[in-house]
């Protein structure tokens, strides 16, 4: 059970760390790929489109539900940890609370993975109909002939 829990925690860290680092530092514009799809427009324009409005509403609902589920999972983990400390060395209580803690951590990892997958799908749906914008090369400088 310890190996499974350790593996789940390591996989979660490996999957979450790159997105966190990219969000913290961003990608410099010279390293962005050419021809990558971009999102244009504003949220007000997107809400006028009924399909995008449904997707945005779904995204907001998912954010709220996932946030509430995460808070509940953290509360459950903390309360189980508290009961584990208060257990006063009773073997039966300790084994029961360890099992509960493993299930709660697994549930939190499942919540995080579900949130990531849903955000990925919503991101794909929001950018599916966007035209691919490619940067235009800068025009070559034309020198005027020198008058002699």
For the chain, which residues make up each domain, given as ranges? 50-127
88: Cβ contacts below 8 Å, ≥ 6 apart = none
Average pLDDT over residues 118-135: 72
**Residue 30: pLDDT band with limits 50, 70, 90:** confident
Judge whether residue 141 has pLDDT over 70: no
Average pLDDT over residues 15-28: 65
**Residue-averaged pLDDT of the chain:** 77
pTM (two decimals): 0.52
Which residue's structure tokens are 């800068």? 138
**Residue 29: pLDDT band with limits 50, 70, 90:** confident
Judge whether residue 19 has pLDDT over 80: no
Average pLDDT over residues 103-124: 90
Q: What DSSP state is assigned to residue 40?
A: -
Which residue's structure tokens are 């035209």? 131
């Amino acid at each position: 059970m310890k190996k499974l829990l350790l593996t789940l925690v390591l996989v979660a860290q490996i999957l979450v760390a790159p997105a966190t680092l990219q969000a913290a530092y961003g990608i410099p514009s010279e390293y962005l790929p050419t021809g990558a799809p971009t999102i244009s427009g504003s949220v007000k324009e997107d809400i006028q489109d009924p399909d995008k409005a449904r997707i945005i509403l779904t995204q907001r609902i998912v954010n709220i539900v996932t946030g509430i589920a995460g808070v509940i999972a953290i509360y459950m983990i903390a309360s189980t940890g508290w009961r584990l400390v208060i257990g006063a060395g009773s073997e039966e209580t300790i084994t029961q609370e360890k099992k509960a803690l493993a299930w709660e951590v697994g549930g939190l990892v499942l919540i995080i993975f579900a949130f990531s997958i849903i955000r990925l799908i919503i991101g794909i749906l929001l950018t599916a109909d966007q035209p691919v914008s490619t940067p235009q090369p800068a025009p070559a400088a034309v020198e005027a002939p020198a008058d002699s």
